[in-house]
Amino acid sequence: MNEQGKLEYIIIYQVALFALAMLAIGTLCGSFALAYNRIMIPDSIVAMGSAAVGAIAGLLSPSPLRAR
């Protein structure tokens, strides 16, 4: 892979990581706002936040090929 391809790969990786982090932070803030107003937090918000955190963990964990 040439340098341009590596740079594009890194940028796409960073954008995906940023989007997932914003989703996780947004669901956390939304959950706090709903809880503060004594409104029940929908399961869909909890699921979105959990999925975002799990995806971030998957992106940041080393692949088995690189661990060797």
Instruction: Give per-residue pLDDT as tens, 24-49.
Output: 999 999 999 999 999 999 999 999 99
Share of the chain above pLDDT 70, in %: 96
Alpha-carbon distance of 38 to 41, in angstroms, equals 9
pTM: 0.84
Cα 58 from Cα 52, distance rounded (Å): 10
In a domain, 52, yes or no: yes
Q: Amino acid identity of 18?
A: F
Residue 43: domain span:
17-57
Three-class DSSP category at 67: helix
Structure-block tokens of residue 65: 């090929």
Q: Is residue 30 part of a domain?
A: yes
Number of domain units in the chain:
1
The structure tokens listed for 26 are 């947004």
The DSSP output letter for 38 is: T
